[in-house]
Homo-oligomer: A and B are copies of this chain.
Amino acid sequence: MSALGPPIIVAANRGPVSFERDEKGELVARRGAGGLATALIGALQEARGIWVAAAKSGGDREVAAGSEGGRIDMHAYGATYGLRYLDIPPEIYDGYYNGISNGVLWFVHHYLWDTPRTPSFGEGTERSWAGYVAVNRMFAQALAEEGDRTRSEPAYLVQDYHLAMVPRFLRELRPQALIAHFSHTPIAGLTYLRTLPGKIREGVLRGMLGADVLGFHSQMWAENFLMSARSLSGVRADLARSRITVEGREVMVRIQPISVDAGPMRAAAATQEVRDRQHELNRWRGNNRLILRVDRLELTKNIARGFQAYELLLKRRPDWRGRVRFLALLSPSRMDLAEYRTYTEECLAEAERVNRELGEEDWQPVEVRVKDDYASVIAAYGLYDVLFVNPVFDGMNLVAMEGPLLNRRGVLVLSRNAGAYWRLGRHALAVNPFDLREMADALETALEMPQAERARRARGLSRLVLTNPPQRWVGRQIEDLERVRRRRASAQTS
């Protein structure tokens, strides 16, 4: 794709950078991690496109306030794309972000309810939902305005569950818009979606159906969406062709797994900081084999059962005591939600219990480090014998891809309920994340796997990740929209 390609406009809750004041008091742009931002920025740079996001930090708001309509020329920061921050009133943002996006949609799509007790929707939900609708309208409005400024109809790339209603609202403003929406989460099945108030369920589903192309990380999530859409009146879904017909329009449902960008990770791995961490970690591990997990402290990540499975292994196979250690690198997440604080305490208590019950004077089975520490993560990726990725449900899971890029002999133990399983499963040891026995078996198999098989699997994993760079993930979405553009143009001329 060259700069002569179609204009691109990205919409995502979070911007590609966040502005903060540095020690000298100057505003600097900090890049977030993650393949998503990398891939989208790459495409935007080439197309000289624009990214629309919600202002998050005080610095974001400051930058937005000092510019026209929140538009920031990123040339000042060495980039060729534009950035527009929406300055959303805090009480509306709270309902949209904490209330609905992370408090309702995240929970439902990851099957996180304790149904006899949660959820309970009340007056607060109603207010939050109004905020969600309002923010989605603000995004749609900004996207429409940006579309007016491009030389031809742009390709809109709308990201994730925060912005599920944007496609529909944008379609109302620009009936001919070319809109792709991508879901980075799982998608709950039809029955489970019935936990949502009808207004929210229909709002989200019909909102997404405003797009021309809907992308998902795995077939399971795509099929769940198709079956749910099929239940709406006036909507026809063709499972075999992965097409939905609504209001005379056709919506393509596509499976487009994202991947991670090898370059920056390998560059980071070569830094002195990471080498120092590796040195420290190597001293710490001594002669022990290393089981590693890297996760946000997130309800979906299945951290406590991970420790329990490891405990089961050590009880069954006492000969592994004193010969293996489990390192959990956990970063705090959503600590403003009570459920997350409770879950964090539970996970830490579980690790402590295992150490108390099985630890010996000179050997502790588990080490938990709670910190946002990218250098240690990159360092640990190079060292693991087993990478343990066992989420209860996960849209994709990028840790399962990052690790193998930096490790040529470690074994991946991977949940069958992560989107990554559909892509990487054949080179991993697959587990049911609710089955302690199966996870303990897999850890044991991984620890005892012959060198040649370990290397073969690790090669297979890194090859799969490398042959599917994040640029390709963006590229396929843009190609799909180009197909829509051509179809629409030929329909108009014929």
Contact = CB atoms under 8 A, between A and B. Distances in A.
Contacts of A121: 432, 434-438
Q: Which of A119, A195, A346 has the most B CB atoms < 10 Å from its CB?
A: A195
Contacts of A113: 111, 114
A416 interface: yes
Nearest to A193: B189
Q: How many A residues are at the interface, by size bracket? A: 35 or more
A413 B464 CA distance: 53
Interface of A: 110-117, 119-123, 125-126, 186, 188-192, 194-198, 220, 223-224, 227, 239, 299-300, 302, 304-305, 308, 312, 343, 346, 392-393, 416-417, 432, 434-438
Contacts of A435: 121-122, 125, 197
Given A115-B392, A191-B188, A191-B224, A432 B123 contact: no
A191 B192 CA distance: 10
A229 to B, nearest CB: 14
Closest 6 A/B residue pairs (Cβ): A189-B189, A114-B114, A121-B435, A122-B436, A116-B299, A115-B392
Contacts of A126: 437
A113 B120 CA distance: 16
Nearest to A126: B437
Contact of A111 (B192, B304, B392): B192
Nearest to A392: B115
A308 B186 contact: no
A120 B191 contact: no
A115 B112 contact: yes
Nearest to A430: B198
Contacts of A190: 189, 220, 223-224
B436 A194 contact: no
B111 A197 contact: no
Given A191-B224, A192-B192, A220-B191, A304 B198 contact: no
A195 B434 contact: yes
Contact of A194 (B115, B304, B417): B417
A120 B305 CA distance: 8
A213 B186 CA distance: 33
Contacts of A122: 312, 435-437
Q: Which of A126, A189, A227, A305 has the most B CB atoms < 10 Å from its CB?
A: A189
B224 A392 contact: no
A116 B434 contact: no
Contact of A437 (B123, B195, B432): B123
16 contacts: A110-B115, A112-B115, A116-B300, A117-B304, A122-B312, A122-B435, A122-B436, A189-B192, A190-B224, A191-B192, A191-B224, A194-B416, A194-B432, A195-B392, A196-B432, A196-B434
Given A122-B312, A189-B192, A194-B416, 13 more contacts: A116-B300, A116-B302, A120-B305, A121-B434, A122-B435, A125-B435, A189-B189, A189-B191, A191-B224, A191-B393, A192-B192, A197-B434, A239-B239
A323 B436 CA distance: 53
A186 B113 CA distance: 18
Given A121-B436, A393-B115, A434-B120, A186 B191 contact: yes
A346 B118 CA distance: 13
A186 B191 CA distance: 10
A119 B304 CA distance: 12
A113 B302 CA distance: 14
Nearest to A239: B239
A456 B437 CA distance: 57
Contacts of A223: 190, 227
A192 B393 CA distance: 10
A194 B192 CA distance: 14
A262 B346 CA distance: 51
Nearest to A224: B191
A304 B125 CA distance: 19
